[in-house]
Structure 1
Amino acid sequence: MIVLIDDEAAELRRIMAEGLLYPVFQPILDFRVRAILGYEALIRGPEDSPLHRPDQLFSVAARNDLTLDLEHACREASLRAFAAQRLPGRLFLNVTPGCLLDERLMNGHTRELLNELAIAPNRIVIELTENQKITDMPGILEALQHYRGRGFQFAIDDLGEGFANLRMWSELRPEFVKIDKHFINGIADDRIKFHFARAMQDLAEICNALLVAEGVERTEDFICVRDMGIACGQGYFIARPETHPIRQLAGQTVTALDQQSLLLSPLTGGPGKLPTARNLARLIEPVPMNASNVTVIARFEADPDLDVLPVVQGTQPVGMINRHSMIDRFARPFRKELFGRKSCELFMDHAPLVVDQYATIQELAMMLSVAPKHYLFDGFIVTAQGKYIGVGSSHDLMATITEMQISAARYANPLTQLPGNVPINEHVDRMLESGHPFIAAYIDIDNFKPYNDAFGYRRGDDVIHTLARLICEATDPQIDFVGHIGGDDFFVIFRSEDWELRCWQIISTFAQAMGNMLGVEERLRGGYMAENRRGELSFQALPTLSIGAVKVGPGDCESHREVAAAASAAKKQAKKRAKNPANEPLGGSLFVERRRIGSTDALQPVGRFLN
């Protein structure tokens, strides 16, 4: 849209000169810890001006060679408003790649402004937009190295909107990547969008970047994005951009978050025993933000075991003070006289790691693994509905994880290291309690004992190892659960919509793998000669798979015992079909229980065999 103004360049210069630009801030939610990660600053012109909207502002700037001037003015307005409101967390600043080479960024002006506003560079995320083509990639890379060396982080915007930002991702290696809202709006109902986002997530894990889902506007999309494991979300469902944005999550967001996702490997010691941040919270009496530095020093001197002090404004945590950093600063000449009576806000970390009490141990561990190193020493602040309740330490977190891993190893299958009977039962019970529908699939190897007897247990173990690998490759590690009951029996809890296709994939790839384990003659004959149980030499068919699958809906079962019994019955039906000489299966059988568990309908077979 072209804005018609008598002298548009003069109007834009007037707006910048008179400081009439102002930002609105939109919160970015960190799903992992149920807290606001930071805010994206979005610029606005005067409401009564034709240049109110950002697209109008930047269109006029581009036509009049004022883009760098406008970006500089936007950056300063956003930083000053962010500091004036004392907003917590990180600030995401939109910057075009060419602006990184602006001498006003390179000559230290921004660093001086940050010092004036008491904003640490590690709280700033420079969000690169794809509004202009990069013509000097070596120069941009050199600029990124310069800024990263001073603590700044980077994000790229609108991933998926074009090929250029895919190149930016590979070249610039940003800490944050924002998925374009096109792929998020309706993702809960659109398999194509879901798989596109999943592919982006796989890339993010390889590149050690955090994904931010933009344009989250519906409850269903919010829950889908969270359950996919995407780190952060942004959109109207969480909060709209405001000049004075929310500091605590709104009711609808909290309600959606309370619909807890189901972890596949919770490392629990029993149902309902999954530790959370609340279990690690230790109450340390906080200091108010207006407390003096002398007061803080006195607290540390009075308690030698006190390593950190949380800082609050009312009941809301706003910072963290590290003991060693504080004492080291005040050990220098005249520091106590100069700063002793000033507010402790001067020396606190304005962006501490703040987590909700329901954040799981696994989420905390993942968060700390990619966080700046000082979080490992400072720990994290725990909140309940945005209010301070205590401080957790990394030491206690590591101790808890170690204890959980030891407990999990106790219940893992020793051959495949997959979850054994206890974690399988726990996961089924969690699924039943959640009310989520799922498919329980019992996988068994047919003709395994003769093969094991004929070729030895080492070759038999190879078959079981191979099947375990093929099952894991065919399932979605984000939502499907794979367990090893024991021997040649496996149990899978599917939540993937294409679970039936995945079952056939397991059957097919296992048949191919078994053929490759024997010679050409055995493969051509579909078996081998070996002694049977009576000691007679006879033909033995190659091991194949029988899979019995049961659909479990809300209210169908009360416990894992009912699910296990139903899946076992379906597996027996699959094995009966496989033994029918008329069928002569070459690969295996899949039998699906089509009736509701507990009904009197006849069993319904599916597909029947892979020939």
Structure 2
Amino acid sequence: MLNPFPHLTPERHAMQGAAFPPTAPETGEARALTELIRERRLSAVFQPILDCRAHSTMGFEGLIRGPEGHPLHMPDALFGAARRHHLGLELEHACRETVLQAFAELRLPGKLFINASPACLLDPRFKNGETLAFLRRLGLPPSRVVIELTENQQITDFPEIQATLAHFRSLGYQIAIDDLGEGFSNLRMWSEIRPEYVKIDRHFITGIGQDDLKFQFVKAMQDLAETCTAHIIAEGIESAADLQTVRDLGIACGQGYFIARPVPAPATCPRQEVLDVLCSRRVAVFPQAMATSSITTARTLLHYIEPIDPRADNDLVFERFESETQLEVLPVVQEGMPVGLINRHTLIDRFARPFRRELYGKKPCSMFMDPAPLIVDENATVQELGLILSRAARHYLFDGFIVTSAGRYMGVGSGHDLMALITEMQISAARYANPLTQLPGNVPINEHIDRLLKAGVRFAACYADLDNFKPFNDVYGYRRGDDVIQLLGQILVEVADGRLDFVGHIGGDDFLILFQSNDWEVRCARALKLFDERVLPIFTAEDLQRGGLVGENRRGEEVLHPLPALSIGALLADSNQYESHHEIATAAADAKKQAKKQRGSSLFIERRRSHFLPLVGLEALSPALSCPA
């Protein structure tokens, strides 16, 4: 990838005539680089760019190498030397011709992505028609060339670069921006330049299938690209899991070592391993967001209120409250440091008494302020804030708190906003992740079912539920009940294949596993076996000996309840039978009810609506584990 050269100045843009500036220092490295450029001892390599939708190669990125075995063979060394010796534009010019000529000679199909720094685009040798004439001699139309604008060099004059790119677009070139997400300025580049292609930095793609934060970043970029009709190219695809996640996100194109490495003469068609991933009917299990409350801080609740000096008189404070009707508190700050807080109702109540305003109106406001307000740092978490507020005096709930950064005033937060945020976060957490097991909750479960149906994937929806769990809770208490629920969640995660199977926690002792694994029945059988084994240490010796729990029924009579067991109702599903997660949920719950009719841990498979055979036959299981309808 061509590196930009931030040291280049407008004077160098105007440089014409001599191939090399007379000021280039004559060091050994400089002479070596000059010789490589003058003698065209550079070679091109090409990395295919995959069209994830058409399952074909849509183009190639042209990259450059120095001579094999030379100290300047690799791009980092080559362009590092050019930057040190002010030969950046000369090197880019040589690289451009080398890549274009090799692309034409190899007769590669599709588009050619060729790197260019902003300084290079403004170079007269790029704008004077020399490159266009070179393309004509090679028989390459500009419409097959995508100018890949590197982001590392900061653009300070957007109108100039916009005018330059408009010129290139008028000739037929298309524009791409590189390494989206690597720096802060490239989002502005996207907005200002409106490229046809946007490359997402490899940092956000490599390992995306296991990293929720990367996943959310890329999903946001994809949503933005759809809004402005740009094509996303995901760089850094290094595994089948990366490619599958990129494919299922709907990203148009991909590039990376898993697809193909840069070579002098690349293959023009994707290799079979890549096509297998693209053609797979399996749906990627997206990483799930955990509760975010731990990283939500006081800064989120901050509202800036212009503070008042402690030497200001009370009349001025009163006037502020009268003119700013939404103002409930007024922070008192001296030289940037908070020293107090004045409550609207407290001050007005004091002034409402006879002659109080006349007596105290001209006195400093510090006499009526709370000299010990609640002060928190901007990095205090919401949980910490809630705990502090719950332990503080009641008036702090109404007054709120002052937010500081390194002890200096930043703004004010209200107790009302804090309570609203905590409530909202608790509701959101319950919908997206069960707080007991941290497994995905109802919203992610429903979203994954709908994705499976939309993709036309055959899958098994298995509803897992505990039998006789209420009597166990009554006898052993809710804490041991939570232990059993967590145990079940761990077992289901253990038996599932995290790359293919989705484990969700509906609530209480109800779980749903969406299997894409071929051997899903064997995995269910293993879950039943593991539960029966691992739950035993939780029971007392007496309960194990008698084979049940002694409790009372509704009439107060002593009865013996069976020990808790695991029931799994399995539903074989595809989009030919079901249209939404609502139908899947209802049918899976019905299958679970049938499983619970059997004594002990059991698996019931609903086959009446199945139009396809299970991928692993029941002969692999004990007959007691399945009950065909």
TM bucket by the smaller chain? 0.3 to 0.5
Computing the radius of gyration from Cα coordinates, the structure with the larger value is: 2
TM-score w.r.t. structure 1 length?
0.48
TM-score w.r.t. structure 2 length?
0.46
